[in-house]
Structure 1
Amino acid sequence: MIERVLKKIFLTDNVFLLEISRSNREDILLGQFASIKTSLKDKILRRPFTIVRNEKNSITFLIKVVGSSTESIGNFDKGDFVDILYPLGKGFKENLDYENTIFVGGGIGIAALIPFLRNVKYKLIFGDREGEYEEVLKYFSLKGLHCQEKKGKFKGYPTDFLNRYDFDTIVGCGPKAMLKSLKDYSVKNDKKFYAVYEEVMGCGVGLCNGCSVKTEDGDFIKLCTEGPVLDGKRIVYD
């Protein structure tokens, strides 16, 4: 599918918003994503990104430049054509009890949580290693406990602050080490844990095994078709 860039805004030196046109009228569910083709001729695989906002005529992504593929997407300008597949993934259909749910994000993983936090009252812990996401939080008007590893009012990792809150469900997205810690906490304290799991993908539609993740029972889950929102206690975080 070919869409057009409507807007691009760099919120930090390497994190930007990309808003593109939306001609596909299929419903977009929480957790679903799109797969964008880069402009690099030597890069065959598309890159998956959470749809952080979906409006009638546009969809928006929050992207961090971490390599040549995301850098090339960051070079798109208003009016450029974009080769994109969407919506992809199973989506999240559970009815969350927001009063008893805490959202935990780490780094660019906050992008996958933003769709859950629109027009609701929520609890959020966000881990920001160097404080580089302050402008992102401001742009999306995200409120919560903002922790950093070595500075700021709250020093430490997101899991260090879980006991400040009352909850029975965790929804988390971020580095694998953080997800592993959330899993361990959930198992120990008998909490439900949904992981919005991010992984490099191949086709993005279930035809290959490029995004398979291992489970505790030895099986493998194709993230692109069965995720990206998974039972976080079932996943093996290598």
Structure 2
Amino acid sequence: MRVVLGLLDANAGEALVLGEDLSRSKEMRRKVGVLFERHGLYERLTVRNNLDHYARLFSIPDRQRKVGEVLEEVGLEERGDDMVHTLSTGLKRRAGLARALLGEPEVLFLDEPTSSLDPQAQKDFRTIIQDLSAKRRMTVFLNTHNLDEVQRICSRVAILDRGSVKLSGTMEEIRSPKSIEVEVVLASEDGAREAVSRLLTDSRVMGAERKGSTVDMSLRSPLWVKELVAWGLDIKEYKIRNLSLDEVYFEVLGQGVTA
């Protein structure tokens, strides 16, 4: 992300934001907001004084109004006069976000924004980001190892490995499996055994595995419930399972999940 922001030189290629190289355009850098893992605030100043200080550095007009506005957007309007060092990690992260919003950015870069936060603080931060993106019509660039978080809030995803993009696209596109993963629950284990025997003779079935009365199968093309019923199988449940982003990640990188 530091290469994209123009803070580090790229070994090869180029990284453009809004069509420009940020390392060469001071004007374009004004259109970008950034929140790294460290909030970038002075611990012995109040939240409001911190924001006023940065607003002055950024030459933002009507500083008092703008500071009040961003405090409200991140839910800190009642904590603006608190010293930063008295805030929880989650509230400090929100205060850092308020600083990143001062310049009305068109693109907001977030680096591991919910790391070290408790589940409630993570949920609150995600909600704020989603609301901000919708309200401001702002692009949010999220850099994270938290794939569950990506799956919850991102519309487009890129998976990188050693500096190379291995896969990118909309969430729906990258979660589209190469095979159709189906779980079928039958009325009995005997029925499940019979199902596996029948399934493995069908050219559409890449694999089938029985676990008790449940059969997991991978299909090249759809195999419908009515076909299974026509075979005389007593089916209690049939569901198509979508791949999780974790599964896509490990499939793309060719790695197994390890403890």
- What is the TM-score normalised by the length of structure 1? 0.28
- What is the TM-score normalised by the length of structure 2? 0.26
Q: Which has the higher contact order (CA 8 A, sep 6+)?
A: 1
Higher helix share: 2
Higher strand share: 1
